[in-house]
Structure 1
Amino acid sequence: MPRMLDRIEQLMRGQVPPLEATERHANPMGTVHGGILADIADAAMGMAFTILELKINFMKPVWTGKLRAEGRVLSGGRTVGFAHATSTCMTLRGDAAAGR
């Protein structure tokens, strides 16, 4: 997770602080390493439960940008529960983002 000593983030329940992904988070192909994306999803779900197993589906590559994750509990029992996390990255900026 990023060091956030110089700013304050207001977070809703199940959210983790955003991560500003840069080139230092990249894999050899230049996209953000999948482990980084899995880590913020794990952190978001881990706010509610201790994670026993993690499965993640990557829909498209991420290069740089502000990554956010939000987790929510789908169901919970006495010892095991199910949680779901969504990670997003805003990749459109400026004129390219107009109308989207």
Structure 2
Amino acid sequence: MPWTEATAALIGPNQVLSRPELNSSRAACRIMAISATEESYGHMDFIPWGRMDAFYAAVVQATEEAVLNALVANQEMIGRDGNRTPALPHDKVVAALKARGVIIG
């Protein structure tokens, strides 16, 4: 089932159309973020409006974690025609994240 159909089944087609960020096929993994909420649902036809805050908080948390993972796990790459993309210096990334309170330690 395409992501837009799955999303429409969960929160309703009108809400999908009013939220362009949910219409992207790249967002397919975001549905897993709903499992981060405290309550468990065996089957859902939609996300109740009273639970949308928890859903969006889980999406934001999952996205933030993915970005941080990409920053830390990056490696130097040599691409086509010898084009080089250097890795970010991990020590500077960690220092910047600590300075902004993103990570503790």
TM-score bucket of the superposed structures, by smaller chain: under 0.3
Q: TM-score, normalised by structure 1?
A: 0.26
Specify the structure having the higher radius of gyration (Cα): 2
Between structures 1 and 2, the one with greater helix share: 2
Which protein is richer in strand relative to its size? 1
Higher relative contact order (CA 8 A, sep 6+): 1
TM-score by length of 2: 0.25
